[in-house]
Amino acid sequence: MVKALLVAAVASGQGKTTITAALARKLVRMGKRVRVFKCGPDFIDPMVLERASGAPVRSLDLWMVGQDLCSQQLSQAAAEADVILIEGVMGLYDGTPSSADLARAFGVPVMAVIDAGAMAQTAGALVHGLRDYGPAEMAGVIANRIASEGHAKMVAASLREIPLFATLPKQGKSLPERHLGLVLPGEVDGIDQLLDDLAQQLTFDEAAWDKLRDIDIAPAPVAVTPRALAGKTIAIARDAAFMFLYPANLDLLRDMGATLTFFSPLANDAVPAEADAIYLPGGYPELHAEQLAQATTWQASIRSAHAAGIPIVAECGGMMALADTLADKSGAVWDMAGLLPGAVAMQPRLAGLGPQGLPTPHGVLRGHTFHYSKLDTRVEPAAYTVKHPSAIQGEAWYRVGSLTASYFHAYFPSNPAATAALFLRSET
């Protein structure tokens, strides 16, 4: 049995991540063992939440991750923690499946975050609508951007029988953002002090906390992972330009028997000589394009690996770094490694977003896409992903020799067999 909450809102931009981080840090400072999860596909918010809670943050999603693996992760957390917090994605009912669907699947009550900065009594109408539309089990409300004690009292009165669980005042300093979301925790000066300040300012009703019911999460059966990568060494790019990957992806590669080694293209590291396969995850190559263009040792080594037929899996930012050129947001054009003929250019508008699946001979490999750049290439796609739930054509998936590349970010545990095939040399 464990206390668990889904922290949700009516829309993005209400302060879910800030509130979840503040609540996690506050509970940790109260001596609680806290585990935090993020609903839906996301790379950056989990980094912030991990910093706030001091524990690894994993993804929960009924489609991409699957109910069984969600159940396994939640039951393991319940055995190790006093509190589980799950940050929702977008609005409570947005998406198929939605955050509300996840909450219902595991009997987790909802803690609604509202941005009360420009409202008072209308907060009650908003929260009652959130509760009744689903319906959803509403544990309480956390009101963000509260201006005064009087403002908080007006909001609390409007909620009627729903408790105002906590409030957070308007902030002079908030977590900074860029085009793909929040700035990474390691790039924010004084991030821990900022999180401590948020926790301190979160006015918290401990009596309401004590009234929250415990939930029981039954563990799902654990599937046997095939040791399809036993004896293989996979070299993974990891630095400020390549850091968007699911921890569960690394867990699966290890469970399949692979030895993982890490290297930094930004530091001009060569691909490790012992690599049997290479994984270039997404990230922010556009912010480091000049440095990548000057990393001649890295570029030569990845070209040599490609020429030798070593499998290379490149996702989003990883693919961008393997094109001929990359134009950054200022319009400056930089030479990249040139394994995928074509030019990548940043643009102000979102170019791709949402859950998608890649059809493979081993079944569908699920994941998502989220990018602001576009690739102009003469290479014909070997396949396309399929958008979920619309089933319309999604991202192009390219194959050039031993390279597979796409804007698609795969969630490897969704299909271990398809994942293993990506990192093994083709028999043809």
User: Which element (helix H / strand E) includes 29?
Assistant: helix 16-29
Asked if 85 and 117 sit in the same domain, the reply is yes
d(CA 313, CA 332): 27
If asked whether residues 204 and 262 sit together in one domain, one would say no
Considering only CA atoms, which of 298, 259, 291, 296 is closest in space to residue 276?
259
Asked whether residue 225 is assigned to any structural domain, the reply reads: no
Q: How many domains does the chain have?
A: 2
pLDDT of residue 426: 78
- Beta partners for residue 242, in sequence order: 239
How many other CB atoms are found less than 10 A from the CB of residue 413? 22
Do 201 and 70 lie in one domain? The reply is: yes
Among 285, 245, 287, which residue's Cα sits nearest to residue 265?
285
Domain check: are 260 and 320 in the same one? Answer: yes
**Does 228 fall in a domain?**
no
Confidence (pLDDT) at 373: 95
Residue 354: predicted pLDDT: 92
Residue 107 and residue 36 share a domain: yes
- Please check whether residues 317 and 375 belong to one and the same domain: yes
* Same domain flag for 331 and 404: yes
340, burial (CB in 10 Å: exposed 0-12, middle 13-18, buried 19+): buried
Judge whether 326 lies within some domain.
Answer: yes
The residue among 169, 184, 215 that closes a domain is: 215
Residue 224 lies inside a defined structural domain of this protein: no
Q: Are residues 205 and 293 in the same domain?
A: no
Alpha-carbon torsion (261, 264, 270, 276), positive or negative: positive
Q: How far is CA 43 from CA 56, 74, 140, 323, in A?
A: 12, 19, 27, 23
- CA separation for the pair 206, 223 (Å, rounded): 40
End of a domain among 215, 248, 264? 215
Cα 406–Cα 425–Cα 240 angle in degrees, nearest 5 = 45
Q: Which pLDDT belongs to residue 227?
A: 95
**Tens-binned pLDDT, residue by residue, of the chain (428 aa):** 899 999 999 999 899 999 999 999 999 999 999 999 999 888 888 999 999 999 999 999 999 999 999 999 999 999 999 999 999 999 999 999 999 999 999 999 999 999 999 999 999 999 999 999 999 999 999 999 999 999 999 999 999 999 999 999 988 766 665 555 555 656 666 788 989 999 999 998 888 888 899 999 887 777 889 999 999 999 999 999 999 999 999 999 999 999 999 999 999 999 999 999 999 999 999 999 999 999 999 999 999 999 999 999 999 999 999 999 999 999 999 999 999 999 999 998 888 899 999 999 999 999 999 999 999 999 999 999 999 999 999 999 999 999 999 999 999 999 999 999 999 987 54
* Domain match, 241 and 207 both: no
Structure-block tokens of residue 272: 């490790």
The CATH number of the domain where 285 resides is what? 3.40.50.880
Residue 223 lies in a domain: no
Pairing of the two strands 233-237 and 277-280 = parallel
Check residue 186 and give its pLDDT. Answer: 60
**Residue 324: which domain range?**
233-422
Name the nearest CA neighbour of 292 among 360, 250, 227, 240. 240
Best CA proximity match to 170, nearest among 152, 196, 188, 193 = 152
pTM of the complete model: 0.93
Residue tagged 């040139």 (tokens)? 338
In this structure, the strands spanning 393-400 and 403-406 are antiparallel
d(C-alpha 393, C-alpha 229), whole Å: 31
Note whether 72 and 219 are within 8 A (CB).
Answer: yes
Domain boundary among 187, 215, 243: 215
Same domain assignment for residues 265 and 184 = no
- Give the residue numbers annotated as catalytic, written as ranges: 316
Here the tokens at position 92 are 């409570």
Are residues 79 and 8 located together in one domain of the fold?
yes
Q: Does residue 227 form part of some domain?
A: no
Are 240 and 301 in a shared domain? yes
What amino acid occupies position 270? A
- Asked, for residue 222, whether it belongs to a domain, the answer is no
Give the domain CATH number at 101: 3.40.50.300
Confidence at residue 428, expressed as pLDDT on a 0 to 100 scale: 42
Task: Give me the pLDDT at residue 118, please.
Answer: 94
What beta strand segments (E) does 101-152 contain?
110-115, 138-146
Say what the pLDDT of residue 187 is: 62
**Is residue 365 included in any domain, yes or no?**
yes
In the prediction, which pLDDT does 183 show?
A: 59
The closest alpha carbon to 291, from 334, 238, 324, 323, belongs to: 334
